[in-house]
């Protein structure tokens, strides 16, 4: 499937800031099943800084915006060809040991309710258990936009019984780690839901490490594994660690952010 992306993130400040420094994970991952035809990231009045590939295999690009500035637009445009790999991440180069992803973080901290949910899942092997954990999370947290926020934890989302893809991913990561399965958060894009209806184009899911198979993606929000509709950008311990854009502004102004994302299928 050939997919085009047009993703714009606008930052507005109520008073001019002296400068802004950002770190981007906005370059699609390189692995079997995902091929980039063209991809460009532009930043209003921005100057490119250092670029490197981190231990998780993600490309990290630095940007600096000299002030005074009251508005910044980060625009991503590109075309990617994807293939259904049944969620298995093959041919992805990285150096971080999978067991590092057993480490707990604040958004993925296990509590009694999450542990109980994790223990309801059974499977004949680790892969079957991973599928059962994803299904358990999907059944416990209904997809409902607007009821949670960027800092909602997995435990809080489970208590609400509602959330978005970020909450599903955090909850699955917490449950998997509690059962001894390394798990991480993945950010990217999604073309559409299984039945073809529009969904959040900026998307997130989890990857669990299965011995003998490697990293396998699970998307409880859509009751599926990532397929040709998904574009993978990068990963981390949680949403903050895997954020496509991270930054800091010098000046003390209040910041407002607006995001628009369009993912469309293009002709082959």
What's the pLDDT at 82?
Answer: 97
d(CA 189, CA 89): 16
Confidence of residue 193 (pLDDT cuts 50, 70, 90): low
CATH of domain 84-236: 3.10.620.30
Segment 124-163, tens digit of pLDDT: 999 999 999 999 999 999 999 999 999 999 999 999 999 9
Alpha helix (H) ranges present in the chain?
112-119, 126-140, 154-160, 165-178
What's the pLDDT at 67?
Answer: 80
Domain spans of the chain? Answer: 2-80+244-265, 84-236
R_g (Cα) of the chain, nearest Å: 18
Length of the chain: 268
Q: What percent of the chain has pLDDT over 90?
A: 91
260 has pLDDT over 70: yes
199 has pLDDT over 70: no
Task: Kindly state the average pLDDT of the residues 206-233.
Answer: 96
What's the pLDDT at 230?
Answer: 96
What's the pLDDT at 251?
Answer: 86
From the CB of residue 260, how many other CB atoms can be counted at a distance below 10 Å? 12
The strand pair at 202-210 and 230-236 is best described as unpaired
Q: What percent of the chain has pLDDT over 70?
A: 96
d(CA 89, CA 86): 9
What's the pLDDT at 227?
Answer: 95
Segment 56-70, tens digit of pLDDT: 999 999 999 998 999
**Both tokens of residue 10?**
């606008």
7 has pLDDT over 70: yes
pTM exceeding the 0.85 threshold for the entire prediction: yes
12 has pLDDT over 80: yes
From the CB of residue 214, how many other CB atoms can be counted at a distance below 10 Å? 14
- Whether domain 2-80+244-265 has CATH 2.60.40.2250: the reply is yes
What's the pLDDT at 200?
Answer: 62
Under a CB-based contact definition with an 8 Å cutoff, are residues 185 and 133 in contact? Answer: no
Confidence of residue 232 (pLDDT cuts 50, 70, 90): very high
d(CA 141, CA 161): 4
Segment 108-119, tens digit of pLDDT: 999 999 999 999
Average pLDDT, the chain: 94
Confidence of residue 11 (pLDDT cuts 50, 70, 90): very high
197 has pLDDT over 70: no
Confidence of residue 216 (pLDDT cuts 50, 70, 90): very high
């Amino acid at each position: 499937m050939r997919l085009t992306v047009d993703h714009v993130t606008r930052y507005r400040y109520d008073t001019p800031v002296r400068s802004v420094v950002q770190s981007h994970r906005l370059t699609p991952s390189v692995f079997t099943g995902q091929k980039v035809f063209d991809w460009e990231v532009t930043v209003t009045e921005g100057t490119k800084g250092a670029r490197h590939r981190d231990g998780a295999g993600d490309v990290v690009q630095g940007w600096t915006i000299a002030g005074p500035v009251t508005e910044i637009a980060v625009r991503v445009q590109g075309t990617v060809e994807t293939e259904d790999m049944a969620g298995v991440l093959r041919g992805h180069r990285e150096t971080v040991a999978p067991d590092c992803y057993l480490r707990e973080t604040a958004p993925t901290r296990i509590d009694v309710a999450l542990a109980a949910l994790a223990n309801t899942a059974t499977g004949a092997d680790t892969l079957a258990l991973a599928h059962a954990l994803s299904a358990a999370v999907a059944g416990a947290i209904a997809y409902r936009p607007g009821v949670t926020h960027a800092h909602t934890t997995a435990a809080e989302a489970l208590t609400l019984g509602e959330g978005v893809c970020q909450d599903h991913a955090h909850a699955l990561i917490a449950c998997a780690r509690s059962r001894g399965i390394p798990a991480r958060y993945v950010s990217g894009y999604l073309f559409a839901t299984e039945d073809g209806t529009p969904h959040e184009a900026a998307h997130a899911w989890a990857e669990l490490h299965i011995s003998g198979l490697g990293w396998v993606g699970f998307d409880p929000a859509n009751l599926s594994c990532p397929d040709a509709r998904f574009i993978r950008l990068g990963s981390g311990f949680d949403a903050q660690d895997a954020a496509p854009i991270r930054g800091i502004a010098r000046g003390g102004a209040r910041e407002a952010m607006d995001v628009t994302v369009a993912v469309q299928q293009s002709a082959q």
